[in-house]
Structure 1
Amino acid sequence: MATYVLIPGAGCDAWLWHRVTPLLRARGHDTVAVELPCEDDSAGLAEYADAVVTAVGDRADLVLVAHSLGGFTAPLVCERLPVGLMVLLTAMVPSPGESPGDWWTATGHAQAVREVNERHGRPADAPFDPDFAFLNGVPPEIAAQVEEHSLNQSGTPFLKPWPLPAWPDVPTRFLVCRDDRFFPAGFQRRVVRERLGIVPDETAGGHLAPLSHPEELVERLEAFRTTL
């Protein structure tokens, strides 16, 4: 039995994982869906890592799954807990000394979004639309609940440089979501190649794949775990 530690992205509570956790538990695993202090202006990446470590407690056989902004937090956790596998799900991949706020420009994210807009018949510089960026593929009855589980994300975690000198020595896999409009697949493949030196795997869904395609996601996670 493994313990899956599930880290949400920015402005999300643990509900992001509510369709994933029962599927993992049905396979005999423990799960920890972490609540991060997203609305706390005194909390930065260090406090986010603290929240994960506290939630895990003394559990063992850890598989860490990090979504979106969680890519900045998960490696910090790996420095403090005996993580056997880290899976980055359509996540931000930091470079040493880079803050989450600087990541967008450093990776060329804006151009990737312009290209997605044009592919979908939108103006290249169309205003940000969270429904377009996040909810594609999410069942309507689930999408209707997203707003009540959205948090007012503090800007504090985006301000300070990522403190690690290098990526932790932990087996790491990356899952690109093929229909992601926020972190597009081609953009992610390039960033992962440049920053981690690995070829990412792919799964179905958009940016909120835990809500849209939980079964496929669990299959991918289990395949990673069993082939370590």
Structure 2
Amino acid sequence: MTAGPDRPLVVLVHGAWHRPSTWDAARSALAALGYETRVVALPSAGRDPAPTASMYDDAAVIRKELDQVDGPAVVVAHSYAGIPTSEGLTGATNVAHLIYLAAYLLDDGESMYSRHGMDVPADTTGLFPLMGSPGEALYHDVPRDVAARAVEDLVDQSLLSFTGTVTRAAWHDIPSTYVVCDDDRTIPPALQETMAAHATATRRWPGGHSPFLADPQRFAALVDDIIRSR
């Protein structure tokens, strides 16, 4: 697959407990702006994910997807996906830009647990529990009918995936933009700000954790503006 410099391929990577279908509305909005998109299905999330599916497995799948792309690509990583995206795309010469959307943007040697000052549990098998009231945490500003469907589509997430430590973060070598969601009720905006300090540039979204569902057209316009401003 070949992309052009004016309209690079946009690769979308979903967060924990989600599936590729979470991007459907955003893909349609990006297509209306002339962008071809691809989505990555992370093995750590699913109706019955392998309990041994790790962040490194997710990173390998992301890298495999990008290895099939000729020409420039822009990768949008949401929430948890920021970790395997940073891990998997180090040295990827066809990635022109990384967009971290309310995402974990970690440095070398960091994990989600260390970022939160938590100890990794002794037993890392099984599933990481979904937060209480996911509709409020993830979709509080999403249209009610869309949010209800999104909650129904949430899947299980392996616990092991949250414990992986970044070995070499791709953002050291690939330009990046961090989108801080100012009314996020999942990853506190103050925490997002500290991670955004690693990025080349920072943008702001005046809403919650899932802009691609809250307002797909406006989200697509933001991605387009970031791409054009590189």
Q: Is the 8 A contact 1:100 1:162 kept in 2?
A: no
Among 158, 165, 170, the alignment partner of 2:174 is: 170
C-alpha distance in 2 between matches for 1:145 and 1:69: 21
Equivalent of 1:62, from 64, 73, 94?
A: 73
Find the counterpart in structure 2 of residue 98 from structure 1: 110
Establish whether residue 31 from structure 1 lines up as the match of residue 37 from structure 2.
yes
Q: What amino acid does structure 2 have at the position aligned with 1:43?
A: A
Q: What are the superposed Cα offsets for residues 41-96 of structure 1, whole Å, 9 maximum, x if unpaired?
A: 22212211222233342343200000001110112232253210000000012121
Q: What residue is the counterpart of 1:122 in the other structure?
A: none
What is the match of residue 85 of structure 1? 97
* Matched position secondary structure for 1:105: coil
Find the counterpart in structure 1 of residue 213 from structure 2.
211
| Cα gap change, 1:15 to 1:205, in 2 (>3 Å) | farther
Structure 2: 5+ residue stretches without partners: 1-6, 119-130
Equivalent residue number for residue 73 of structure 1:
84
| Alignment partner of 2:61 out of 51, 54, 61 | 51
Q: What amino acid is aligned across from residue 65 of structure 1 in structure 2?
A: V
Deviant stretches of 4+, over 3 Å:
none
Give the Cα–Cα distance (whole angstroms) in 1 for the partners of residues 173 and 106 of structure 2. Answer: 15
Distance 1:197 1:18 in 2: 27
Is 1:11 aligned to 2:23, yes or no? no
8 Å contact kept, 2:135–2:148? no
Matches within 5 A, 1:141-180: 141-164=145-168, 167-180=171-184
Q: Bigger shift: 136-145 or 177-186?
A: 177-186
Give the TM-score normalised by structure 2. 0.81
The structure with the greater share of residues assigned to helix is 1
Find the aligned partners of 1:19 and 1:11 in 2 and give their Cα distance: 18
Provide Cα deviations, 1:130-172, integer angstroms capped at 9, x if missing partner.
2221121111111111233211100111223211167431110
Contact 1:75 1:168 in 2 (8 A): no
Tell me the secondary structure at the aligned position of residue 93 of structure 1: coil
Instruction: Choose the corresponding residue for 1:185, options 185, 189, 206.
Output: 189
Q: Give secondary structure in 2 for the equivalent of 1:20.
A: helix
Going from structure 1 to structure 2, the CA distance change for 1:36 and 1:172 (only over 3 Å counts) comes to same
Give 1:87's aligned amino acid. I
State the TM-score, normalized to the length of structure 1: 0.82
| Secondary structure at 2:116 match in 1 | helix
Structure 1 residues 158 and 23 mapped into 2: Cα distance closer, same or farther (>3 Å)?
Answer: same
The total of aligned residue pairs comes to 206
- How far apart, in 2, do the equivalents of 1:58 and 1:172 lie? 19
Answer whether contact 2:62 2:89 (CA < 8 A) is retained. no
Residues 16 and 80 in structure 2, CA contact (< 8 A), matched pair in contact too:
yes
